[in-house]
Structures are given as C-alpha cells and as structure tokens.
Amino acid sequence: DAGVTQSPTHLIKTRGQQVTLRCSPKSGHDTVSWYQQALGQGPQFIFQYYEEEERQRGNFPDRFSGHQFPNYSSELNVNALLLGDSALYLCASSLDLPYEQYFGPGTRLTVT
C-alpha cells in the first residue's frame, strides 16, 4: 500500500500566479482533508472533501478551492498567490470513525 501520495514535492511560484496541488489517498479511503502548515506552526485545516463535495471548511478565503474526483483523489487550487501562502500543504485521507487520518509528506510551496 503506497499510503497517501502528494505531488509535486516542491514548488516555486510568483505572487499573483495560480497553483494546483494533487493528492492520492490511501487505498480504500474516501475522505480527503487539506491542511496548510506555516513554518513552526501546527497544521491549519483548509477543507475536507467527501463524495466529491466540500463538506467542511476552515477559515481560508475563497482563493483556496478544491476538487475530489470519483477515484477519491483530490486537488487543491490556490489563486492569486500571496507571499503569505508560502507553506507546507498537507493532504490527509481517512475512512472509518473515529477515523485516524493518514497524512502525506506534503508539498512545499514557496511564493516569491
């Protein structure tokens, strides 16, 4: 089992650009959550997808959007990048209550 995979590993973008990050959940998992982790901080919840719909959302602006595909994989899109969007973006998948979440290694996004 490959576990949760994310791509790309690292990414450098310019302020104002748009970025798409990808996540493949652990085999059999149907729920995907995205987190943003700034340096030295704990992960902050962005949103969660289940059955191809956004089910929960954290305190993030509409510039952050996502999608879940029928095979449960997911994308995170960020528009109009700001310098403050530089962070590690983590994807986590889960299945059953009380559902431990399995995290991927993350995508390191740098906005210059």
Partner 1 sequence: DAKTTQPNSMESNEEEPVHLPCNHSTISGTDYIHWYRQLPSQGPEYVIHGLTSNVNNRMASLAIAEDRKSSTLILHRATLRDAAVYYCILRDGVNRDDKIIFGKGTRLHILP
Contact positions vs partner 1 (CB under 8 A): 4, 31, 33, 35, 41-45, 48, 50, 55-56, 58, 90, 92, 97-106
Q: How far is the CB of 41 from partner 1 (least distance, A)?
A: 7
We find the least distance from the C-beta atom of residue 19 to partner 1, in angstroms, to be 19
Closer of 48 and 81 to partner 1 (Cβ): 48
Q: How far is the CB of 32 from partner 1 (least distance, A)?
A: 12
Write a three-state SS string for the chain: CCCCEEECCEEEECCCCCEEEEEECCCCCCEEEEEEECCCCCCEEEEEEECCEEEEECCCCCCEEEEECCCCCEEEEECCCCHHHCEEEEEEEECCCCCCCEECCCEEEEEC
Which residue lies nearer to partner 1 by CB, 59 or 71? 59
Q: What angle do CA 45, 65, 85 make, to 5 degrees?
A: 65
Whichever of 9 and 71 has its CB closer to partner 1, that residue is 9
Work out how close the CB of 8 gets to partner 1 at its nearest, in angstroms, rounded to a whole number. 15
Which residue, 58 or 75, is less far from partner 1 as judged by CB?
58
